[in-house]
Structure 1
Amino acid sequence: MRRLVMALAVAAATLMPAAPAVAAPADFTATEVSFTSNDGVVLHGTVLAPASGGAARRPGIVMLEGAGNRGRSYLRPEAEAYARHGVVTLIYDKRTEGYSAVHRDFSLLADDALAGLRLLRDRPDVDPSHLGLWALSEGAWVAPLAANRSADVRFLITVGAVGITPAAQTAWAYGTYLRHAGVSGSLPRTMRGTVVQTTIDLGIFAESDFDALPAWQQVRQPVLNQWGQLDRDALPGLSSRLIGGALDRGGNTSHTIRIVDGTNHNLHRTAADGFDRLPDLPADYADFETAWIADPSLTAPSASLADEPAPPVFAAGDHAWVSSGVVLALLVAFAGFLVVGRRSKLGRPARWLAVLTPVTLVATYLYLMFLLVVAAKVTGPVVLGRPLPWLLLQLLALATVAATVAVAATWRHHLDLTTPGRIRLALLTATGALFAVWAVQWGLLLP
């Protein structure tokens, strides 16, 4: 019964008539569509097509979004540019079932792209022999998988493709953006190393070790790989060399590497040396791409790029569990301090330590989580090479260690304590010692 219901749902979605064209500028039309992926998930999108129809069939592209789920409107300016250049273009909302901030499956996203491609292939205004994928950033990890699965993919165009694993790319980008913000010292090391490794170990960095190069090596269709000269996310120098090398090793003789002057990761105009995300497209956007679709042998002069420094290498390990064990032991010791012999008079350093330890621990995790959410692109004011919140956290960590030393030094003054009082003092001292281990591990006690 369940299979029957799913089959009926898939059939209904497939046969659903397209919505009428919605209001759009006179040079193209926009039509709302729905299509179904292999697992039965229905996706919703918009097809933008040149307004002047005629009998001639036109090239078609399916656009693959970058990381996150911003919705089809995020790629609307690019889609409109291609439609104005005579290309029928599909943009669609990325699935929410099976895709989230902590779960992504590039193979599943490749199936979605091919489902969209089938929708375009069946349109009377699309030429199936000029049907391809356009992929941005994360989408360029997906595109070669899709190309290797279907002969319907006649060409690939990528923007900001990454030639290393998502984990290594993320760590490199953290360092790049923090350095641009004037941040030095332990925070970049913590973000590039401890934070990324912890997300991998906890299983919340899906596809962290995905290597796209084997898939690129199998691609036989014509490929146009493009990077902005001021791309601060995709390591354009290293990625262009690695992906170009994989295509060469696979025997692909029809691929073009293009570096676009003065543009950022999205091939948009930039007013901040590539560290912004302005919505403005260059005036000649899609000129070269549409000419290349008509003739994949077309080449264009490209700016030269040097390889970026080698990014770190990550593998699943036990770092997060060791850190979690330290934190758990710290919390147990602190809880014991709160429970045992609460009437014992331990003095001011003990009271300070009892307050500073949990406050510093929680505040550190909250700030690092904030940096994760904003991809280290928003740090707050920078003082002495440190974001002000991180500087305050380091000062709190130093104060916590100082309080621990002060508590340990008071042992000889508390020989008259009752047994519960001595236990409480020992637990508090252990809490401070464990905190120091944790603070070193997370960079709070490092320069």
Structure 2
Amino acid sequence: MWGAGGSRRLLGVFPRHLENTMRTILGALALTAALLPAPAATAAAEPQAPSPGPPPVAPAVVTHDVAFTTGDGQRLGGRIFVPPGARGRLPGLLLIHGSGKGRPWRALETEAVEFARQGMVVLAPDKRAAGYSKTRRDFGQLADDALRAFAVLRARPEVDPAKAGVWGLSEGGWVAPIAAARSADVKFLITVGGPGFGALRTQAWNMVNKLDRAGIEGSVRSVLGRELYRLTSDAGLFPGDRADAAGTLRRVRQPVLAIWGDRDDQVPPAESAEVFRANVPGSLTVRFLGGGHTLWVSGRDKADALAPGYASTVGGWVRDVTAGRVPPSSAGAAPAQRSLSRDLPPSAWWEGWRAQLAAAALLVGVFAGYLVTGLRRRAVPSRAGRAFAVLGLVTVPGTLLGAFQMIGAANGRGIDLGPLLAGRPVVWVVLQVLALATVVAGVVLARRWKALPLRQRVLAAGGALFLPWALHWGLLLP
């Protein structure tokens, strides 16, 4: 595209405020598909025999509201769940949220109630809002938050502090092992849907699954599942992109229970389980249960019920571990994944966000400059030149905005890109047609190079960059 020296000279004079603008655009739009909890399919109701009367009502779990202060001074709340009829001091369990800003303790209420019924005192805390966003978050800071809430749990009169541990869901599968590795007070670790890789590789695999379910084909798959993620990672706007999950697991000395749903399509379950098995140095129990990523039977942001056998698996394992019966390492049969995840390499210099920002700005400047100077000078219009400039001026920003808008359509439930044409979103097909028309107009203009006035030569020379730029973004590929 450019020589390295030419790129450095261009970037050296590029206005800093445009870099900041690009960071804002990337951060606001490209990461809306970061690991959000997704619902599993609602279980079908089976016919039941007529009951002679209403079923017995289970004793209510006793609750207490608590609060704790984070290391940076945030005051967060939470709720303690105590088993009904509890006697003496019981094992304690701290719940750590999945992704999402400022999630309340109620998002984990179903887990808290069900685990309490298994004989544990459970703390479901609020999650921080300040210092956490789609583009900025620190797993180490979240682990510190968890340990501060954990201290509140251990201090409860209902809890035996020598029998307290932590549980992490999804993003919490990165955070909980950090907390366990930092504190010997954590006596056991449970993860559900815990990632074995950094967020970049995990989310790219997640996006591919969304595109598969939506029936998306063609070059737009590479743009949405690869190039945009690499771009935001290169810009430093993909939190946890290269998180060292394996390195953290190697520092965990506590017994570990790692659970995945056999239909998990947000975190690669079989591959993640293999990372856990290869790196946890002590007792590791791996289980695969029937369900999706969160092992919720229904609900979007909160479980209505847990997958069958989930709560009892957790309860039985905690009872064994806290009674001194630490099980030897074992693993259930791993489910078959639809596809393997792939590590995304760092961007080359010409793929990086600064180079891409510079290329887009140069193209827009050349196209817009030609049109503006033509109006001011009242130059004799050139149909090819005018078509090339207008088409290019629409296509370049339209491609960037369209791509980020499409990736922004992804959420925990999937991705909806509107009507499809031959497996391609209509918006993408329109952008591809515009790109092809731009190239044709540019070729027509360039063929008259010797007869062109200076102004049109500048347009043709500057616009020559459009061809490799469009190829990189898949606009000229099927």
Bin for the TM-score computed over the shorter chain: 0.7 to 0.9
Q: What is the distance in 1 between the residues matched to 2:472 and 2:359? A: 10
| Map of 1:267 onto structure 2 | 295
What one-letter code is carried by the residue in structure 1 that aligns with 2:89? Answer: R
Note the C-alpha offset of 1:338: 3.0
What one-letter code is carried by the residue in structure 2 that aligns with 1:174? Answer: M
Note the C-alpha offset of 1:26: 6.0
From 428, 433, 443, give the equivalent of 2:464: 433
- Asked if residue 305 in structure 1 is aligned to residue 335 in structure 2, the reply is yes
Can you list the C-alpha shifts for 1:209-239, whole angstroms capped at 9, x where unaligned?
Answer: 1111111112111110000000111111111
| Map of 1:36 onto structure 2 | 69
Note the C-alpha offset of 1:208: 1.2
- The correspondence of residues 40-189 of structure 1 with structure 2, limited to 5 A, is 40-53=73-86, 55-69=87-101, 71-72=103-104, 73-189=106-222
| TM-score (norm: length of structure 2) | 0.78
**Percent identity of the aligned residues?**
38
Q: What is the distance in 2 between the residues matched to 1:68 and 1:115? A: 19
1:142–1:105: structure 2 CA closer, same or farther, 3 Å change rule? Answer: same
Q: Is the 8 A contact 1:28 1:83 kept in 2?
A: yes
- The correspondence of residues 1-400 of structure 1 with structure 2, limited to 5 A, is 27-53=60-86, 55-69=87-101, 71-72=103-104, 73-247=106-280, 250=281, 252=282, 254-261=283-290, 263-269=291-297, 279-296=304-321, 297=326, 302-306=332-336, 308-315=339-346, 317-318=348-349, 319-342=352-375, 343-375=378-410, 377-378=414-415, 379-400=417-438
Note the C-alpha offset of 1:152: 1.6
| Map of 2:28 onto structure 1 | none
Note the C-alpha offset of 1:149: 1.2
1:278–1:395: structure 2 CA closer, same or farther, 3 Å change rule? Answer: farther
Note the C-alpha offset of 1:202: 1.0
Q: What is the distance in 2 between the residues matched to 1:64 and 1:207? A: 17
1:277–1:29: structure 2 CA closer, same or farther, 3 Å change rule? Answer: closer
1:402–1:221: structure 2 CA closer, same or farther, 3 Å change rule? Answer: same
Q: What is the distance in 1 between the residues matched to 2:67 and 2:272? A: 34
1:87–1:380: structure 2 CA closer, same or farther, 3 Å change rule? Answer: farther
Tell me which moved more, 430-439 or 219-228. 430-439
Q: Is the 8 A contact 2:268 2:340 kept in 1?
A: no
Q: What is the distance in 1 between the residues matched to 2:347 and 2:475? A: 24
CA RMSD, Structure 1 to Structure 2 (Å): 2.7
The SS at the match of 2:374 is coil
What one-letter code is carried by the residue in structure 1 that aligns with 2:136? Answer: H
Note the C-alpha offset of 1:401: 1.7
The SS at the match of 1:265 is coil
Can you list the C-alpha shifts for 1:173-196, whole angstroms capped at 9, x where unaligned?
Answer: 221211222112212222232111
1:313–1:26: structure 2 CA closer, same or farther, 3 Å change rule? Answer: same
User: Which has the bigger relative contact order, CA under 8 A and spacing at least 6?
Assistant: 2
What one-letter code is carried by the residue in structure 2 that aligns with 1:294? Answer: R
Q: Is the 8 A contact 1:83 1:89 kept in 2?
A: yes
Q: How many residues align?
A: 407
Q: What is the distance in 2 between the residues matched to 1:402 and 1:440? A: 14
Note the C-alpha offset of 1:430: 3.8
Q: What is the distance in 1 between the residues matched to 2:150 and 2:447? A: 71
Q: Is the 8 A contact 1:103 1:204 kept in 2?
A: yes
What one-letter code is carried by the residue in structure 2 that aligns with 1:207? Answer: G
1:317–1:182: structure 2 CA closer, same or farther, 3 Å change rule? Answer: same
The SS at the match of 1:66 is coil
Q: What is the distance in 1 between the residues matched to 2:230 and 2:136? A: 16
- For structure 1, the 5+ residue unaligned runs are 1-24, 416-421
Q: Is the 8 A contact 2:367 2:463 kept in 1?
A: no
Q: What is the distance in 1 between the residues matched to 2:249 and 2:344? A: 20
Note the C-alpha offset of 1:306: 4.2
What one-letter code is carried by the residue in structure 2 that aligns with 1:62? Answer: L
Note the C-alpha offset of 1:439: 1.4
Q: Is the 8 A contact 1:165 1:208 kept in 2?
A: yes
Q: Is the 8 A contact 2:192 2:294 kept in 1?
A: yes
| Map of 1:406 onto structure 2 | 444
Q: Is the 8 A contact 1:238 1:306 kept in 2?
A: no
Q: Is the 8 A contact 2:264 2:292 kept in 1?
A: yes
| TM-score (norm: length of structure 1) | 0.83
The SS at the match of 1:295 is helix
The SS at the match of 2:142 is helix
1:166–1:350: structure 2 CA closer, same or farther, 3 Å change rule? Answer: same
